[in-house]
Structure formats: C-alpha cells, structure tokens
Amino acid sequence: MTDLTVLKYTAEHEWLLIDGDTATVGITDYAADKLGDVVYVDLPAEGTEVETGTVVGEIESTKSVGELFAPALGTVLEANQAVVDSPDLVNSDPFGEGWLIKITLSSTDGQGLLSRDEYVALTAE
C-alpha cells in the first residue's frame, strides 16, 4: 500500500504522488466512499494541457456524478486505461491500481496542496 503521509491532497479530494516533475493523481478513499460504486470514468487524453482547478474528467457512480479537477498545472502524460475499463478499481484500490492520471508538472510549488494531517482534519469536519 502507498504511504499516505507522502502524498499531497486537495480540498476537492484528489491525491498526488509527486516524483520529480511527474505527479500521479487519483481520488481519495474518502471521495470514493462518498461517491459509492463507481461505474464510469472519463479521463483526459495524453498530451492534454491542464490548469490547476479546472475540470479534466468525470467519475460516475450509482449515487452521483463527480468531477475530476486538475490538482496542478501541466500536461497529461498518461491516463489509466485500467480504470476506464474497470471503474470499480477507484473503489477497491484508490491509492494504488485506481490512480487516474499522470501529469508532467509545469510547476511543483505545491501551492494549495494539503498534507495528510491537513486533509484528515478537512474531512473530519
């Protein structure tokens, strides 16, 4: 399992694993639980330019439709085809096989990103 303390988080319930200038992005277990059983995932294509805070995808569940927000400025390096083919991975392994996209970061300043403790405090409210 991924060490959740090394991840960065957004208030929109995405997580980022930053490695150099690449960020792997997914939604948190909290978000996956709130969505319910995920049945469809729409992700941006490789090469798509993304801007922090903009909608870049959609996650549909049996309960609702959620938007995927870009947590950083950059270019989509890869979209997880396994999640598109098996959306339930978002529920069963949100911090592992259920990752959504990889972004080549234009900036790694981390502005607006939360630590694990800050994110836990946010979702406890």
Domains of the chain, by residue range, sit at: 4-113
Q: Which residue has the higher pLDDT, 110 or 51?
A: 51
State yes or no: pLDDT of 10 exceeds 70: yes
**Sheet-wide strand order for 55-61:** 38-42, 55-61, 65-69
pLDDT category at 35 given cuts 50, 70, 90 is very high
What does the pLDDT average to over 37-65? 95
What integer is the mean pLDDT of 57-68? 93
CA distance 8 to 94: 14
On the question of pLDDT at 17 being above 70, the answer is: yes
- The pLDDT tens digits of the residues spanning 100-125 come to 999 999 976 667 899 999 999 999 97
Query: For the structural domain made of 4-113, what CATH number should be given?
Result: 2.40.50.100
Q: 30: how many CB neighbours lie within 10 A of its CB? A: 17
pLDDT of residue 36: 93
What percent of the chain shows pLDDT beyond 70?
97
